[in-house]
Structure 1
């Protein structure tokens, strides 16, 4: 197969802990031809979508670090390959958030002729934190507004700690815990996040969400789903005063066994994920509540492998091969 990975530049990746590098490595081990491109490498020629790519297929059975060094050498030595996108078998969209809408616009019309993981329209729908509102009965109490008075009233009426989140972002970026016990700072924070100095239509709506106390003791759980089914999971707990449990924020990862409540969450969201073509996602759960659905470059494979002794990337590539060769 010809498999392309559209992602951030390879030199910015730590291959040991990056999900994308493990997916690429498994493709290479199986003898597939692997290509690399960045978002700006897509363009239109004669009504068709064309990609300028590097062939990063290298020898098999290298260590992950030696494999990555060989890939970097390919970028230096090899000439670019220009190929119509529909000549590829698979495209992995693995660029870190925020979503690149031009990529989605270019690939949307051809994703019925090349398998795209995940589908462009599904990523457009699913990249915002608002997507969880499709499952309102299993998420924490949630509000979204650009009106500072309304947001302040929500927090006052709630009477406890709440979380403020921008609607876009990843890795816990911009997520803060607030309370009406600190009214002066609270007003300032709300005004800053919504850009209250701008006219109302130009302000940024933000999400205000119930703070789940279970996160202090138990942390949260990242669950990877493949084709709607559980691929693997890990618990994440803060090891500092930071309430966030994101690995990028310094949280530790622990072995985790899925609970019945978490399995139920996965069963509830599966039909919608399949309808939207979101085949490979990571969800974040606290207790029996769904916090987020990550469909744009979801991560966690290397750390789950380390905790379980598995190589779950093999199941992802098995899935891809079945899609293409069925």
Structure 2
């Protein structure tokens, strides 16, 4: 099969990204792999979605680094949806919010067209529209998510702050990677208004109850078609432990990762959210869990799958690509 990986900017990809590992696994399994940056998507005069993309060279690679370096050095070539079996949207819209706002929705918009042209688009672009910001979490049962207020009104934040015993998490409705995430407590009395105003300059703010279990970090758990991604009875999950004095558990914010196992709390969350994720066409997602509560659902380009594979000593990438192969076969009527 032919897979087009859509990323923010090809030259800014990293060997440590989950996207790179998925692409290399697809290449190793004999599939044609293309990479395209958002700015190189195109609508062609024949009505097809196209892309000025780079093709992975037809040779073996020993590492993620050599694979990505070789791919980046390839010249761009114009291809169209008539040649693709899969269009995989692995771009992060939040990363383009400030400097390239035109790029935020482009992947989803072109993906919707490609889907109508017979291409398997992952995750489903209609579902991604619904999940384009953190308010998507509010579609799921209250029992598995923290108490939350979404607002641009300072009085709303103050009221919630008092109701939560003067300790809340505040973050932007749109964003990723732990950017502009704050723990507000009594120490921030003088700065609270400025923090809220800074977040609300770019849109809505989310105020969430603070969970004491967050001191132990969080768990990134991968679901595939609404079910735990597993191999050899091991679940694709990592525990992320923040640095001392840091509330964010994101790896690139300095958190360290270790292997994680399934818990009863995780099973309860999966039972609550899995059906709707499948219904929305969310093929591969990352759940961020603190204690027995779901803090975020990462649907665009969830990372950490390389860490999970290393900790559990299994290749979760292989399971994902096999599942994609089956989806393509089913779409073509060859189960």
Contact kept? 2:19, 2:90, Cα under 8 Å: yes
Name the counterpart of 2:161.
155
Change (3 A) 1:63 1:192: closer
How does 1:67-146 map onto structure 2 within 5 Å? 67-74=67-74, 78=75, 80-98=76-94, 100-112=104-116, 113-135=118-140, 136-146=142-152
Q: How far does residue 10 in structure 1 lie from its aligned partner after superposition?
A: 3.4
Greater shift, 130-139 or 64-73, is seen at: 64-73
Name the counterpart of 1:301.
305
Task: Please give the alpha-carbon distance, in whole angstroms, between the structure 2 residues aligned to 1:166 and 1:86.
Answer: 39
Task: Please give the alpha-carbon distance, in whole angstroms, between the structure 2 residues aligned to 1:241 and 1:204.
Answer: 27
Partner of 1:104, secondary structure, is: helix
Q: How far does residue 213 in structure 1 lie from its aligned partner after superposition?
A: 0.7
Task: Please give the alpha-carbon distance, in whole angstroms, between the structure 2 residues aligned to 1:71 and 1:84.
Answer: 19
How does 1:173-188 map onto structure 2 within 5 Å? 173-180=179-186, 182-188=188-194
Number of paired residues?
Answer: 313
Task: Please give the alpha-carbon distance, in whole angstroms, between the structure 2 residues aligned to 1:73 and 1:204.
Answer: 38
Change (3 A) 1:62 1:35: same
Name the counterpart of 2:232.
none
Greater shift, 294-303 or 53-62, is seen at: 53-62
Name the counterpart of 2:332.
none
Query: Is residue 24 of structure 1 aligned with residue 28 of structure 2?
Result: no
Partner of 1:60, secondary structure, is: coil
Query: Is residue 229 of structure 1 aligned with residue 227 of structure 2?
Result: yes
Pick the aligned partner of 1:166 from 172, 175, 179. Answer: 172
Q: How far does residue 188 in structure 1 lie from its aligned partner after superposition?
A: 2.1
TM-score, normalisation: structure 1: 0.91
Task: Please give the alpha-carbon distance, in whole angstroms, between the structure 2 residues aligned to 1:226 and 1:128.
Answer: 20
Partner of 1:290, secondary structure, is: strand
Pick the aligned partner of 2:197 from 191, 196, 210. Answer: 191
RMSD between superposed Cα atoms in Å? 1.6
Name the counterpart of 1:13.
13
Name the counterpart of 1:210.
209
Runs of 5+ consecutive residues of structure 1 not aligned to the other structure: 196-202
Contact kept? 1:58, 1:67, Cα under 8 Å: no
Task: Please give the alpha-carbon distance, in whole angstroms, between the structure 1 residues aligned to 2:56 and 2:275.
Answer: 35
Contact kept? 2:287, 2:294, Cα under 8 Å: yes
Q: How far does residue 101 in structure 1 lie from its aligned partner after superposition?
A: 1.2
Runs of 5+ consecutive residues of structure 2 not aligned to the other structure: 95-102, 230-235, 330-334
Name the counterpart of 1:200.
none
Q: How far does residue 180 in structure 1 lie from its aligned partner after superposition?
A: 4.3
Contact kept? 1:165, 1:206, Cα under 8 Å: yes
Query: Is residue 312 of structure 1 aligned with residue 327 of structure 2?
Result: no
Q: How far does residue 65 in structure 1 lie from its aligned partner after superposition?
A: 2.4
Q: How far does residue 93 in structure 1 lie from its aligned partner after superposition?
A: 0.8
